[in-house]
Amino acid sequence: MRYVNKMMTFMIVTRRTTFRLYPTPSQEVKLHYWRRLHKDLYNSCLYHRKTEYQRFGNSVSYYDQQNILPEFKECWTEYKELGSQALQATVKHVDYAYARFFKGLGGYPKFKSSRHYRGWTYPGISGWKAHTTGDNGYLELSNLGQVQMRGKARTWSVPTTCTIIWKQGKWYASITVNCEPQRKTNTNAVGLDFGVYHAVACSDGTIIDNPKYLANTQQKIEQASKKLRRKRSPNFKKKIKASKRWRKSRKQVSKLQSKVANQRQDWQHKVAAQIVKSNSLVATEKLNIKAMTRKAQKGSKRKQQKTGLNRSLLDVGIGNLTSLIKYKLSECDGIFVDVPLKIAPSQTCPNCGHKKKKELSERVHNCENCNFTADRDVAASIVMLNYALRLGTSLINVDVEPLSKTIKVAVMNLGDRTTQLRFAGVKLYSNHWTNTRQYHSNFNSTAPANSTTAIGALSGCLGYKR
């Protein structure tokens, strides 16, 4: 929600903070037991929908399964201590999986094993309570008690939802809060060029090198994967169980991969915060990362080269880094400009605008028209900044809603000089957040006429899948 008046701008947004949990041995046993119960409920709802449609041609909705949960808990009494809202959220996850499938965003929903089912969600404030001010504290869960947690939130306010996650042998609590984030920034503007040779090149000449976390750890991952392939792997069709050594080796590979992901995420947050702290206007090229990292075509002679390039692009994480810069700019009312690909920043001279195609091996920009010389990536970032400031572009962010007023002139102080950004009759788009307050509607939908049959079917699914 955004409140705008003549004196101040007041914004409420939703932010998520993850805390590490330290349960006692008895609490950890109970957490694993609850996780298996939620997994069984997920598989039962999935099996219920699948069999109802295949055998009888009936489509089962989320509300059909939600309405039979009270009577379902009477049959399976162990689900009573989990909380009604947490069970509804698990049923809703099945509905989300089918919605993604019908939209073409994913495959048909599959049954999940305990190894792949990570946790459950409390969608409201019922069933849990966070005893913290954003810095360490305790998490209280119904029928479990208080669990020590460690972590620090940048901005803390009233908690709204909580998700319990089990990952890499550790327990986490992901808590969302409705808060008013405050972030300091400067009045400067900068253009950014992302790449593999240099991770980020700024228009002011600053170059941020690629840390290459995956490349530095790739050899250890390959050695651990080689040891994993030598162990007896599971085969469900042949009913072969995995050996203990295979499970141990698999944990080592997962641990290395998680370390690389955590290092990359930490570096991306630091770089994004550094950029936003110094600049309130950021311009960068709108890249199609999915198309850039697409695998080589069948029959291509350069499959290994394309694989290495894709790995290097994903190691930088350009898409996630751009998203981090966007949301951090929104906290300080900054502006993010997507420069279209047709501008061709890498082929354009930032001094005179002359265009000339360059090979990837040319790392220095030498203009034959005006003799301007600069680093290739830095020159491209200057072109993006010039496009955002001088060409009267409309500042459009496709992921947000427009503000109600039309901004004719936006005056921004750029160091020692003042640049006027003129937008005649064009709306200025800024990050516009909607209120995250949840309004609980009372649905008058009643249980189906054959509710007893539905309860029996769902209970039968649960007993079958267990």
> Lowest-confidence range among 132-141, 185-194, 208-217, 422-431?
422-431
Judged by DSSP in three states, 281 sits in strand
Looking at residue 458, what is its pLDDT?
54
Q: pLDDT, tens digit, for every residue of 377-391?
A: 888 888 888 888 865
Q: pLDDT, tens digit, for every residue of 267-324?
A: 999 999 999 999 989 999 888 888 888 888 887 888 888 888 888 888 898 999 999 9
Does 402 score more than 70 pLDDT? no
Average pLDDT, the chain: 81
Does 354 score more than 90 pLDDT? no
Looking at residue 365, what is its pLDDT?
84
Among residues of the chain, what percentage have pLDDT more than 70?
81
Domain boundaries defined on the chain = 10-181+449-465, 188-422
156 and 138 in contact (C-beta within 8 Å)? Answer: no
Looking at residue 333, what is its pLDDT?
85
CA distances from 225 to 215, 250, 256, 353 (A): 15, 8, 10, 50
Phi/psi for 21 (5° steps) reads -100, 145
Looking at residue 182, what is its pLDDT?
83
Does 97 score more than 60 pLDDT? yes
- Res. 463 pLDDT band, cuts 50 70 90: low
**What b/e sequence results for 435-447 when a residue is b if at least 16 CB atoms lie within 10 Å of its CB, and e otherwise?**
eeeeeeeeeeeeb
Does 446 score more than 60 pLDDT? no
**Cα distance between residue 393 and residue 263, in whole Å:** 36
Does 414 score more than 50 pLDDT? no
Across 249-264, average pLDDT: 94
* Residue 399 CA from chain centroid, whole number: 14
> Lowest-confidence range among 33-42, 92-101, 186-195, 403-412?
403-412
Across 253-262, average pLDDT: 94
**Cα distance between residue 79 and residue 69, in whole Å:** 10
| DSSP strand pairing (279-285 vs 335-339) | parallel
Across 114-137, average pLDDT: 93
Does 399 score more than 80 pLDDT? no
CA distances from 157 to 16, 18, 98, 269 (A): 11, 14, 34, 21
Type of residue numbered 425: G
126 and 150 in contact (C-beta within 8 Å)? Answer: no
Q: pLDDT, tens digit, for every residue of 38-91?
A: 999 999 999 999 999 999 999 999 999 999 999 999 999 999 999 999 999 999
170 and 118 in contact (C-beta within 8 Å)? Answer: no
Across 458-465, average pLDDT: 51
Type of residue numbered 435: N
Q: Which pTM does this prediction carry? A: 0.76
Looking at residue 386, what is its pLDDT?
86
**Cα distance between residue 306 and residue 118, in whole Å:** 33
131 and 140 in contact (C-beta within 8 Å)? Answer: yes
Does 244 score more than 80 pLDDT? yes
Looking at residue 62, what is its pLDDT?
95
Does 18 score more than 90 pLDDT? yes
Does 452 score more than 50 pLDDT? no
- Res. 461 pLDDT band, cuts 50 70 90: low
CA distances from 322 to 2, 12, 455 (A): 23, 22, 47
